[in-house]
Structure 1
Amino acid sequence: MVRRRGTYRIKIRDKQLICLFCQHDEFLHREVYMDLNPLEEPVTEQLTLQTFSCTSCGDIRMFQEKNRFDHTLQQHVTIIEYTEVTKE
């Protein structure tokens, strides 16, 4: 498991992530790795989930990291954007 240090505002497919319970928009981040083992067959791949925990109420949301093709840049870019929140 990997954890980014800090608090983030998250956009997924250009839409702001908002907590469903408290409507807060700041999250802590963790990256969770899960081995896929269908029906006791050998592990063929690993699933990576981006986990966001609301800093206000603690609700957890999980998303699979995927890429989309950006026609302006002519390359694949991630669907998840992180903006670090700085406290003054």
Structure 2
Amino acid sequence: MVRKRGTYQIKILDKQLICVFCQNDEFQHREVYMDLSPLGETVTEQLTLQSFSCTSCGDIRMFEEKNRFDHTLQKHVSIIEYMEVIKE
């Protein structure tokens, strides 16, 4: 799942993501792909991290996007919610 570049307000497990340094709540998004391999062995797995960079101070937070089961919807949903911020 690749998201477009833009500015987002982010919720992780239904809690608003706030920058711990400047209290800003707007972040730039990008995906980071890391190949996991035991020491000296071939690549065994790829990890996808969601990287959020604060638009005010540049602090970076990274989360692995996992799914959880929502009993009200009866399906798996992402733990991360994205709401795009439109600048006028």
TM-score of the superposition, structure 1-length normalised? 0.94
Structure 1 residue runs of 4 or more that deviate by more than 2 Å after TM superposition: none
- Cα displacement (A) at 1:6: 1.1
Look up the match of 2:35: 35
Going by fraction, where is strand more abundant, 1 or 2?
A: 1
Contact persistence 2:5–2:30 (CA under 8 A): no
In the alignment, the residues of structure 2 paired with residue 31 and residue 63 of structure 1 have an alpha-carbon distance, to the nearest angstrom, of 10
Name 2:49's counterpart in structure 1: 49
Q: Gaps spanning 5+ residues in structure 1: where?
A: none
Identity of aligned residues (%): 83
Q: Which runs of 5+ in 2 are unaligned?
A: none
Letter in 1 for 2:68: R
What is the aligned-residue RMSD (CA, Å)?
1.1
Counterpart for residue 13 of structure 1? 13
State how many pairs are aligned: 87
Q: Please report the TM-score for the alignment, with normalisation by the length of structure 2.
A: 0.94
